Amino acid sequence: MKLLDKYTVEVEKFVSVCHKLAQNLFVTSSGGNLAWKLEDNLLLITPTKLYKGDVCPEDLVFIDLQGNVIEGQRRPTGETPMYLKFFNLRKDIVSVVHCHAPHVGALAISKGKNWLMRPIYPETTIEVGPVPLVPYAEPITEKLAENFVPFLQKYNSFLMESHGLVTMSRADVTETVMLVDLLEMSAKSILLALQVGEIKELDLQAVRDLDNTMRTRSLPLFGAAGVNKSLEDLYFAH
């Protein structure tokens, strides 16, 4: 059986997320890409040089964790080295979305403080966590993939300097793109707040309380298992 037929449900969800990213203008031209780990050594990934609003099931590519094409008529995204790094170094991760959401993108090109590293909203704090800035490197290169390595064990979302956003999760792509939506709205609010005054962060006690919220809801901490101890440590440890 062809993988395209075996994973019909997953393929439909994947295509839907591609189209949603395009409709929201989180990707333009042939930019952006995403991947979903369907088996221990099998990824579903977007093709190269194709507008995500036009992606159909037959365009998708199945590859292994070494980057070999298992099934598909097109070549996988040029950012494949980045995805191989993600999935090989973070075995817990199930899906990854890379896009250019405009308000997050504004923070990626700003010389100002990276406010996505700070606790602003409770939802973003417990669902996404801090978002570090990964240093710029030429797109579709091994160097870009390597620049993520110092951050991969501790965080699940990343600002790409002068580029865009990467968000990963232990869930499927429909859940991961919801985190992208949450980050984009948080970034928009931050930029609007900066126009009218100073940003008000959640204080230490509020973040301690959110640690309790995460325990109550059985939410896992961001990063690889055992790396982070608490939200308090993530946001306030120096």
| Residues 33-91 pLDDT 10s | 999 999 999 999 999 999 999 999 999 999 999 999 999 999 999 999 999 999 999 99
């900066």: which residue's tokens?
194
User: What is the DSSP-derived secondary structure letter of residue 47?
Assistant: B
How many domains are contained in the chain? Answer: 1
- pLDDT score recorded for residue 238: 65
3-class DSSP state of 76: strand
Q: What CATH number is associated with residue 65?
A: 3.40.225.10
Q: Which residues of the chain have pLDDT under 50?
A: none
Cβ atoms of 65 and 43 within 8 Å: the answer is yes
Cβ atoms of 89 and 69 within 8 Å: the answer is no
